[in-house]
Amino acid sequence: MKGYRLVILFVALSFTGYSQKGYELGGLIGVSNYIGDINPNFSLKTPGLSLCGIGRYNFNTRTSIRADVGIGRLYGRDDISENNFQQARNLSFRTDFIDASLDFEFNFFSLVHGSRDKYFTPYVFGGLAFTYYNPKAELNDTWYALRELGTEGQNKGSEYARITAGLTYGMGLKYDLNYEWSLNVELSVRQPGTDYLDDVSTEYPDMFELADRRGEIAVLLSDRSAETGIEPIGATGYQRGVSSNNDAYYSFRIGLVYYIGLLQCPALSKPRP
């Protein structure tokens, strides 16, 4: 019961105190980095550009609900890893992404726009997100969409989805520049419900069957170990990825947000006497 009381107290405190309701709109720019089978150790060697539009409704100086729409690009390369298995596997990918999320946001300090005392606060947020992705790989100066090639033996019509739902959470800092404008710096994490952001998850397929169903390009992009000068490692059923953990990506962004305040409906004109 004590835990429930703390949650109720936290929510009650969030929605009490000085009220400064209103809307905010802004944009942020930064970098995104992928975490998954091709980058399991959180390497920062392959960042991609990331943009985000944000809209908030402030219930008061502490709490708000926010909606984000972001676009960006993620990369991964085995050949820059220090892991011997990854170097031999030699896979790589890039994917453009579009995501949208709806989050609850909490300010640690009261933020009052235009105040000389309450002009900054750290904050946290969390919610649900949807992500569109389409991993591709380069071969002989041509980029191929990997999903359509079924590189792990997926049958036609049984490929992984291009859109996935997942969780989002993060933290940041708001700093008021004046009554209307504030500087926002934040780190957000997306955890989609898929292990195929990078097209790598389970085992190598039977290459003869893959060639028959999908063609030689699919075989060449399923097992790229021969490009390193070694014997191909992609025997049927051998490990290609680790399916126990889904992929993820995070974004570090900075931008400006404009405080609109409450939107007032225009007054109805009085009829003439």
Compute the 3-state secondary structure of the chain and give helix, strand, coil in percent, each to the nearest 5: 15, 45, 40
Q: How confident is the model at residue 123 (pLDDT cuts 50, 70, 90)?
A: very high
String of DSSP letters for 22-76 = EEEEEEEEEEEEEEBTTBTT---SS-EEEEEEEEEEESSSSEEEEEEEEEEEEEE
5 within a domain of the structure (yes/no)? no
pTM of the model: 0.87
Return mean pLDDT, the chain.
Answer: 91
Q: How confident is the model at residue 202 (pLDDT cuts 50, 70, 90)?
A: very high
Residues making up the chain, counted from first to last: 273
DSSP secondary-structure letter at 123? E
Phi-psi region of 17 (alpha: psi -120 to 50; beta: other; left: phi over 0): left
Phi-psi region of 150 (alpha: psi -120 to 50; beta: other; left: phi over 0): left
Residue-wise pLDDT tens digits, 29-64: 999 999 999 999 999 999 999 999 999 999 999 999
**pLDDT of res. 19:** 52
**pLDDT of res. 72:** 98
Mean predicted confidence (pLDDT) in 218-239: 95
Q: Is the pLDDT of residue 210 over 70?
A: yes
**pLDDT of res. 4:** 43
164 within a domain of the structure (yes/no)? yes
To the nearest whole percent, how much of the chain has pLDDT over 90? 86
55 within a domain of the structure (yes/no)? yes
Let me know: does 166 contact 192? Beta carbons within 8 Å: yes
**pLDDT of res. 268:** 52
To the nearest whole percent, how much of the chain has pLDDT over 70? 89
Q: How confident is the model at residue 175 (pLDDT cuts 50, 70, 90)?
A: very high
Domain count, the chain: 1
Q: Is the pLDDT of residue 174 over 80?
A: yes
Question: CB neighbours of 219 closer than 8 A, spacing ≥ 6?
Answer: 207, 210, 211
For residue 95, give the CATH number of its domain. Answer: 2.40.160.20
Let me know: does 68 contact 170? Beta carbons within 8 Å: no
**pLDDT of res. 20:** 72
Q: How confident is the model at residue 228 (pLDDT cuts 50, 70, 90)?
A: very high
Q: Is the pLDDT of residue 271 over 80?
A: no
Of 10-14, 226-230, 235-239, 246-250, where does mean pLDDT reach its minimum? 10-14
10 within a domain of the structure (yes/no)? no
13 within a domain of the structure (yes/no)? no
153 within a domain of the structure (yes/no)? yes
272 within a domain of the structure (yes/no)? no
Mean predicted confidence (pLDDT) in 193-218: 97
Q: Is the pLDDT of residue 16 over 50?
A: no
**pLDDT of res. 11:** 46
271 within a domain of the structure (yes/no)? no
Residue span of the structural domain in which 250 resides = 21-261
**pLDDT of res. 261:** 83
